[in-house]
A = this chain, B = another copy of it.
Amino acid sequence: MDNRSVKPISRGELARVTGCNLETIRYYETVGIMPNPPRTAKGYRSYDDSLVRRLKFVMRSRDLGFSLEEIRGLLGLVDDRTQTCAQVQTVAEAHLDDVQAKIADLMRIERVLSETVARCTGDGAPKCAVIDALLEA
CB <8 Å contact, B64 and A123: no
The reply to whether B110 and A99 form a contact with Cβ atoms under 8 Å apart is yes
Most buried by B among A61, A95, A103, A127: A103
Is A36 in the interface zone, CB < 8 Å from B? no
Q: How many copies does the complex hold?
A: 2
- Residue contact A113 to B99, C-beta cutoff 8 Å: yes
Q: Tell yes or no: A81 within 8 A of B by CB.
A: yes
Report the contact-size class of chain A (Cβ under 8 Å from the partner).
35 or more
* Contact among B86, B127, B131 for A123, CB-based, below 8 A: B86
Q: Which of B78, B92, B107 lies in contact with A120, CB distance below 8 A?
A: B92
Q: Given B64, B93, B116, B128, which contacts A109 in the complex, CB threshold below 8 Å?
A: B64
Q: List 18 A-B contacts (CB under 8 A).
A: A60-B133, A63-B109, A64-B109, A77-B128, A78-B131, A83-B128, A84-B123, A85-B122, A85-B123, A85-B128, A85-B129, A88-B130, A92-B130, A95-B113, A96-B114, A99-B106, A99-B110, A103-B103
